[in-house]
Structure formats: structure tokens, C-alpha cells
Amino acid sequence: MKQHDPRGWLFVAPACLLLGVVGLIPLVTVINYSFFEIFTLQSRFWIGTEWFRDLITAPRFWASFGRSALFSTFVLCIQIPLGIALALCIPRGRIWAGAALAVLSLPLLVPWNMIPALWLSLMNDDTGILGQWLVGYGWPAAWKDSAVLTWVVILAMDTWHWTSLVVILAYSALTTIPDPLYQAAAIDGARPWQVFRHIQLPRLQHVLLMAVLLRFMDSFMIYTEAFPINAGGPAEASLFLAVDLGEEIKAFNYGPSAARSVLYFLIVLSVAWVFTKVQAKLDDPNPGVP
Amino acid sequence: MIPRRAWPVIKLALLGAFILFTSLPLVQMTVLSFTATLAQDGLSLGETTLRNYRAIWADPSLRAAFGNSVAYVLINIAITIPVALPAAFAFARLSFLGDKHLFFSFIAFRITPPVVLTLPIFQLFSVLGIVNSVTGIALAHCLFNLPVSIWILQGFIAAVPREMDETAFLDGYSRPRYIWKILLPQIAPGIAVTAFFCFMFSWVEVVFARILTTTNGKPISMALGAMFGFQTDIGMVMAFTLTSMLPGALLLFAMRNHLSRGFKVGRV
């Protein structure tokens, strides 16, 4: 059991202070702005919830909301199982495991604004390694005209960029399983699937929950990487939630961008709330008993 | 049913296939970085050359960008770790009123998209006078690095046997002195891993880096962005991208055996 001690707050105080300055104060500012029509920061008018009403009645908002939700669903359905599978595939030996993890993590080191540039070069039908090869198999050179193919490229790019994070998290959980458990399973003649279901998966739960949370939020609010691939096209088919916010901020539209920010933060909060509920359920030793 | 002996082969094949997929864009980048992509200096298009790398070395603004990136990452780590360490200790060892809620609100800041807070952070930092400086970026990046650091460090601290605390307290150590003298050497690899992840998430970040450096203190990602224009020398862009990845790659290989040790406990 952890020791009960209210002095714990003293230890977290510096962290609260720092996050208060770089997180909470800006957040409160944004919430404040979202109720104003702002011409300059000196002349502004209270307009209540008008920005919010404009926002949630706009079909454009709900369309991009739907696209982002669908994108995140794809991302989770691809990257979480793939990440677990790869973590299970990583060889047991210390040398090879380290080398495999390091190589897989290389994409995390590419500056985010270069990731679309890398993929556009790769998919170039003239000079790109993958582009040239794919065109030989009937991949159209004008793939940017197709909404489906644009999504395929963006999903491949995101999988390339972020799967290694899931692998690192899943692998770290797998290494905590003591060998005797595997030996017992082998003695009982367990099939690989049974080993996974009853020994490995229970150990993975907590870390996977974190991986799902991180991957969900980061893909739901994908901004820097997705837009340059096809400028949100064709016909807005790859226009995700964060793009509009980015555009409004670039134009210094304080009010509308603040309202949008608040709305997005509410999404973050509700996701975090669901996360705590799931976490509490995982921690509950005897589910169903109040 | 798949025979037992086939499993290692299948595993190796899947891993190999994904590593191939991972390396494709990186190979493309490397090839382009050694190719002349603009016809100049008497080179024709597509010729293999070292010109891109020489051009980077000769450009003082690119060298400055490299220095800026190193500077803000180091400042960020120097702020993040000392602040995260006591918090991680508290979350790993103590129970206090509201500890779970606090941890989740920290995580909520990690998953808040930076673009949501860019405008007020820009204003706040203008007032504080740290716009267009590496300090500003370093401070802004604490928003996502601090929660992640606390999370990683508390995993490492939780793995240290509790008996060690008790023995130390019996020996008359105070908590801060215990953390400094006994816990810190125990979790040294954890601190290295945390610093590495801070480096990794901070080095490649774009949104804060863009809004906070309009005239001065531009880091690598902004220098790369500025290289795109009417006539983009994509070979040089790729060469600079590759160069920017080298310090990270070195650290990554140095840390490879510790990489996956920090996330063992995913709960408070």
C-alpha cells in the first residue's frame, strides 16, 4: 500500500506551477476570448456564445469532425494490433531486441514538417522508390485525385511515423512477465494464442490503454503532417479538425479560433474522462461488486 | 493449426517486413540527399554529389538553427527533469487527496493539441519577453514533456523496492535527502530515458516552434520549412533532414537497451 501523506502536494507543487503557467493560464485566456468579438486586444465586445453557435451549426465543422473520427478509428485499428504483433515478434536476445527497437524508432526523429515531404518524395511516380514500383502495379500517377488513395497514403505515413511508439510501450509491458509463467504455460501445453490471451494480454492492458489514448488524441488532432500531403483535398476529403483551427490562428481571428480551441479542449476532456473510467475498471479487482 | 516450429519464422518475417517499410522513406531521403536536384555549380540533374552537405556546412543560418535546437532541447530537459522528479516520486510512493485526478489532469495537458494553446501562449510569452528566443520554446515544450516525464519516472521509481525507502528512513534520511542520495542513483537509467524522450518529442516539434520564432531563434524544423520556396532544392532539404536526425539516432542506439524500460507501470 502507498503511504498516505498530504505532503505529497509539496512534491507535485513545482509541476503544478509550471503546467499552470504554460497550460492553465493560456487555457483560461482562450476560454475568456471565446466569448468576445475581438478587433484588437484593446477593443472587444462580449457576444456570449455566438461563436460557439456559429461553429456547431456549421456543416463544415461536423464534416471535418467525422473525417477526424474516422481517421482515428483507422489509425487505432491498424497501429494498435500491429504494434502488439511487432512487440511479440521482437527477438528475445538483448542485442537484437535493442537493435530492432532502435531501428523501428527512427521515424520518431524526423522533424514533423518533413514527414509529408519525405512521403511525397517516396510516392513520386518519377523519382520515388515506392512510387515507381507502385505505378508498375497499376497505382495511378495522379493518386492525389482520389480521396481513397490520399487516405491510404496518409494512413501509411501515420503508421510509419507512430507504430514504433506502440511497439515500445507494448514491448516494455511484455518484458515484465516473469519466465516461470511461460514455463508453466509450456508444461500445460498452451498454444501460442492461449499464452497471448491469458498471460501476455493481461499484462499489456494498462500500457495499451495509454497507447490508445496517446494515439487517439494525436491522430484526432493531426495537423502538421496530414495537410501538406494533398492540401486537404481532393474536395476537402482529407481536411481534418485541426486544419481549420490552424488557419484561423494564422489569420489572428481571436474569437472564432478561441471558441474552436475551447470546443477541442472539451473533446480532450471527455476523452480523458472516458480514459479514467476505463482505467478504474481495469484497476477494480472484483468487477461487478460495488 | 500452425506448427510450433513455424512461429519463429513468421515472427522474423513480419518484423523484417515492417523494418523494410520503416526504412523505405529513410532510404529515399538518403538517396536524395546525395543527389543534385537543382542544376547548378556545373552539376547536371540527378548526379551523385556531396554538394548538398557542403552547402549546409557553408550556410551560417543552418548552423545557427542547429545550435538553437540543441539549446532549447537542453534547456527544456534542464527544466523538465528536476520538476518531474519530485512529482513522480509523490505519484509513485505517496497517496494524497486528489492524486489520481491530478495525474489525469497532467495527462490531459499532454493530449491537448498544441495548436489549441498557441495563440495565448504566444501572447503570454510576448508579455514575458521570451518570444523569439530558445527559452520560450523550451518552456512551451514543457506542456507535453512534463506529463510524459512524470509518467516515465514514476514507472521507474515504482520499480525500486519499497524496503529501500523504509531502511533509509530508519537510518534517519529525510525524504529530499533520500531522493537525492539513494533513489537518484537507482533510477539513473530512468532519468536518461526520460531525457531522451524529452529530446525526441521536443526536437521534432513544429507548432510551438513556428509561432514562437518569427524573427529569431529559429530551430531546425523552421529552417527546413524556410528552404521550401519557388525553387526548392529538395536534395539539400533531405540532406539537412538527415543531418538533423544524426544526434537523435546516436542517442537512440546508445539508449536502445533502456528504451522500453520506462513504461512498465501504466497506472498510478
- The pLDDT tens digits for B42-79 are 667 777 788 888 888 888 888 889 899 999 999 999 99
Query: Is A11 in contact with B86 (Cβ distance < 8 A)?
Result: yes
Rounded to an integer, the average pLDDT of B230-259 is 87
What is the ipTM metric for this complex? Answer: 0.86
Give the pLDDT confidence of A201-214 residue by residue, as tens digits: 888 888 888 889 88
* pLDDT at A41 exceeding the cut of 70: no
pLDDT band at A93 (very low <50, low <70, confident <90, very high): confident
Q: Please state the domain extents for chain B.
A: 47-261
Element (H, E) at A14: helix A8-19
Rounded to an integer, the average pLDDT of A68-84 is 94
The reported pLDDT for the residue numbered B41 is 65
Q: Are B89 and A11 in contact (CB under 8 A)?
A: yes
Query: Is B106 in contact with A275 (Cβ distance < 8 A)?
Result: no
The reported pLDDT for the residue numbered B42 is 67
* pLDDT at B121 exceeding the cut of 60: yes
Give the pLDDT confidence of A246-288 residue by residue, as tens digits: 877 777 777 788 888 888 888 888 888 888 788 778 776 554 4
Q: Which fold has domain B47-261?
A: MetI-like fold (1.10.3720)
Q: Would you tell me how many other CB atoms lie within 10 Å of the CB of residue B191?
A: 19
A and B: number of Cβ contacts within 8 A: 285
Q: Please state the domain extents for chain A.
A: 60-283
* pLDDT at B264 exceeding the cut of 90: no
The residue type found at A275 is F
The model's pTM: 0.88
Alpha-carbon span B200 to B149, nearest angstrom: 12
Q: From the list B94, B120, B203, which residue is nearest A3 (CB)?
A: B94
Q: Are A26 and B117 in contact (CB under 8 A)?
A: yes
Beta partners for residue A37, in sequence order: A45
Residue of B263, B264, B268 to mutate, interface with A, max A Cβ within 10 Å: B263
The reported pLDDT for the residue numbered A240 is 86
The reported pLDDT for the residue numbered A160 is 94
Residue position matching grid coordinates 481534418: A240
Element (H, E) at A156: helix A147-174
Calculate the CA A232 to chain-centre distance.
19
The reported pLDDT for the residue numbered A16 is 92
Residue of B21, B28, B93 to mutate, interface with A, max A Cβ within 10 Å: B28
- Overall CATH class of domain A60-283: mainly alpha
CB contacts, 8 Å: A127 with chain B: 32
Give the Cα-Cα-Cα angle B155, A175, A209 (nearest 5 degrees).
60
